[in-house]
Amino acid sequence: MSLNQLTISAARDALRKGEVTSVEITESCLSAIDGADALNAYCAKTPEIALAQAKAADARIKAGDAPAMCGIPLGIKDLFCTKGVATQAASKILAGFKPEYESTVTQNLWDAGAVMLGKVSMDEFAMGSSTETACYGPAVNPWKIDDRQLTPGGSSGGSAAAVAADLCLAATGTDTGGSIRQPAAFTGIVGIKPTYGRVSRWGVVAFASSLDQAGPMTKTVRDAAIMLGAMASVDPKDSTSVEIPVPDFEAALTGDIRGKKIGIPREYRIEGMPEEIGKLWDEGTAMLRDAGAEIVEISLPHTKYALPAYYVIAPAEASSNLARYDGVRYGYRAKLGAGDGIVEMYEKTRAEGFGPEVQRRIMIGTYVLSAGFYDAYYNRARRVRALIKRDFDQVFAAGVDAILTPATPSSAFGLGEMADASPVEMYLNDVFTVTVNLAGLPGISVPVGLDAKGLPMGLQLIGRPWGEGDLLNHALVLERAAGFTHKPSKWW
């Protein structure tokens, strides 16, 4: 096994024992990255930074000052602002932008001794489920069927591809409607979206502020627990950061869920869902039952309104959040013709700088907030959101500890396969995940099996607010029972 294939926990233990150095692991990752251009996972490589950080980490480890993430090389989603390093949110409109500041999440990671290998690709402004909206071209799933290239999902598709192909030990992701959990499921890795307010949004390029939340994408549940602990913090710079101390998530991993109550929501058994997904769900249910949990059927009656509500609220916020990309202060500015004024500068810059999916969502968001439509769309969607949250509150109040659902309605699809489909078909990828964002809950995707095509499939566990430790423990049980050890065979 080469060093880039290590998990965080294995690397941590080996580093602490002095069996390996961070520089060695980092070099192994850098060489894997250099050999994986075909996956198009990294949009910016930062080997100098990586090696400098690795050396510093080795010194800290030697000095006995080694937090869990010390010396662990990571891929960083292009949505996180990294000081002095290109940060583009996979959009042409941020071409050439290098922030003068470091996001709270990445700063927390660097403070813990982690190492940045580079920036990983994503859908433009995190809007998409396939990374096909990235201005760098799509990232490619290391899993494939015959010669067909597949999407690693999105929007954190570059993160997922990099982790699944061992181009890093783990990566950061962000999740607004499923952008961590869907790509994790498509690539056979673990991804957790924490409770809204657990992880600071400061320095993360905003998509939909009331839904965005960053989280780790890792090879194992234990790694997710370790890395989430390093990413999370109470941040006075983010007014939506909640003042609840960050617990030791790894300490919650007892592997014991006896007597816990697992809810199976009947509304998630949707029409047209592939049989294999339903079968996987049943198997996962059985695994948790066998581990001593009590299985109960539950109802989340407003589930069917979640996707439409999400696709009103998220674009509404996005249309406002993305207004700042106007060509005035930073990033891309269109070439102007003689006589062009400020209006032409806005129009040309934004028409040339934003891709079609981002433009579509800005248009939708602008429409639903406009006078005369606000109540019919935005306000109604907010009410639906409150009802969805109430559904979950009632289930948890009735004693349910975690909810098990499929993570995605299918396994990974082919790149270009959705090119002619309506945008709504792409949006259906989020059907199981958006409810969690609307309710602000923690959700985790765990790889559980392969489908008939040999592609990974994941299940989602949804936890109580601020109960990430308990949620991760449930995920650990599922991971152990599923025994998912499959890796994509290297073709790149």
Active site residues: 77, 155, 179
Instruction: Using alpha carbons, select from 68, 420, 403 the residue that is nearest to residue 228.
Output: 68
| 364 scored as a contact of another protein (CB under 8 A) | no
Among 57, 206, 227, 307, binds another protein (CB under 8 A): 206
User: What six digits make up the tokens of 288?
Assistant: 């948790």
Torsion of CA 191, 114, 214, 85, to 10 degrees: -120
Query: Rounded to whole angstroms, how far apart are CA atoms 388 and 381?
Result: 10
Residue with tokens 């975690």: 402
Phi then psi dihedrals of residue 43, to 5 deg:
-100, -15
- Count the residues of the shown chain that bind another protein, applying the rule CB under 8 A: 43
Among 51, 285, 346, 390, binds another protein (CB under 8 A): 346
Contact between 306 and 438 under an 8 Å Cβ cutoff? The reply is yes
Distance from C-alpha of 396 to C-alpha of 30, rounded to nearest angstrom: 44
The reply to whether 366 sits near another protein by the rule CB under 8 A is yes
285 binds another protein (CB under 8 A): no
Q: Which amino acid is at 434?
A: V
Q: Does 359 bind another protein (CB under 8 A)?
A: no
Token pair of 453 as six digits: 């095509």
237 contributes a contact to another protein by CB under 8 A: yes
**Is position 323 an interface residue for another protein (rule: CB under 8 A)?**
yes
Under the criterion CB under 8 A, does residue 99 sit at the interface with another protein? yes
Which residues partner with 406 through β-bridges? 459
Applying CB under 8 A, which part among 108-116, 160-168, 231-239, 257-265 lies near another protein?
231-239
Between residues 241 and 429, which has the closer beta carbon with respect to another protein?
Answer: 241
Residue-level length of the chain? 492
For another protein, give the closer residue by CB, 237 or 480: 237
DSSP 253: -
For the CB of residue 91, give the shortest distance to another protein in the complex, in Å: 10
Contact between 316 and another protein by CB under 8 A: the answer reads yes
Instruction: Name which position in 5, 7, 31, 209 contacts another protein (CB under 8 A).
Output: 209
Q: Does 381 bind another protein (CB under 8 A)?
A: no
DSSP state of 207: S
Q: Does 440 bind another protein (CB under 8 A)?
A: no
* Residue 81 binding another protein, by CB under 8 A: yes
* Min CB(362)–another protein separation in Å: 11
Contact residue for another protein among 1, 329, 337, 422 (CB under 8 A) = 329
342 in contact with another protein (CB under 8 A): yes
Stretch that binds another protein, among 218-226, 230-238, 260-268, 301-309 (CB under 8 A): 230-238
97 binds another protein (CB under 8 A): yes
| DSSP 8-state assignment for residue 348 | H
Nearest approach, Cβ of 369 to another protein (angstroms)? 4
Calculate Rg over the CA atoms of the chain. Answer: 21
CA distance 279 to 329: 53
Q: How far is the CB of 359 from another protein (least distance, A)?
A: 15
- Reported as type and span, the H/E element at residue 295 is strand 294-298
Tell me how far apart the alpha carbons of residues 422 and 245 are, in angstroms, rounded to a whole number: 44
Interface region with another protein, contact rule CB under 8 A, candidates 65-73, 80-88, 297-305, 441-449: 80-88
- Binding to another protein by CB under 8 A, coded x per residue (else -) over 117-146, reads ------------------------------
User: Could you say which of 27, 123, 223, 238 contacts another protein (CB under 8 A)?
Assistant: 238
Rounded Cα gap, residues 249 and 160, in angstroms: 22
Rounded to whole angstroms, the Cα distance separating 212 from 318 reads 11
Under 8 Å between Cβ of 125 and 80 = no
Q: How far apart are CA 475 and CA 461, in angstroms?
A: 7
Q: Which stretch binds another protein (CB under 8 A): 267-275, 364-372, 399-407, 419-427?
A: 364-372
The answer to whether 236 contacts another protein (rule: CB under 8 A) is yes
Strands 115-120 and 73-77: parallel
Q: Examine residue 240 and tell whether it contacts another protein (CB under 8 A).
A: yes
Residue 376 engages another protein in binding (rule: CB under 8 A): no
CB of 7 to another protein, least distance (A): 30
Compute the distance between CA of residue 118 and CA of residue 29 in angstroms, rounded to an integer.
Answer: 11
Looking at the Cβ atoms of 99 and 138, the one nearer to another protein is: 99
Distance CA 449, CA 300 (A): 26
Q: According to CB under 8 A, which residues from 6 to 45 bind another protein?
A: none
**Options 78, 166, 317, 468; binder of another protein; rule CB under 8 A:** 317
Query: And the tokens for 242?
Result: 């909640």
Options 24, 49, 98, 330; binder of another protein; rule CB under 8 A: 330
- Please tell me the number of Cα atoms within 13 Å of 13 on its side-chain side: 6
User: Does 116 help bind another protein (rule: CB under 8 A)?
Assistant: no
Six-digit token string for 183:
């790509």
Burial of 47 (0-12, 13-18, 19+ CB in 10 A): middle
Contact with another protein (CB under 8 A) among 77, 144, 193, 201:
201
Say whether 45 sits in a helix, a strand or coil.
strand
Residues that bind another protein (CB under 8 A): 80-81, 87, 89, 94, 97, 99-101, 103, 201-206, 208-210, 236-240, 316-317, 319-320, 322-324, 326, 328-330, 342, 346, 366, 369-371, 374, 378
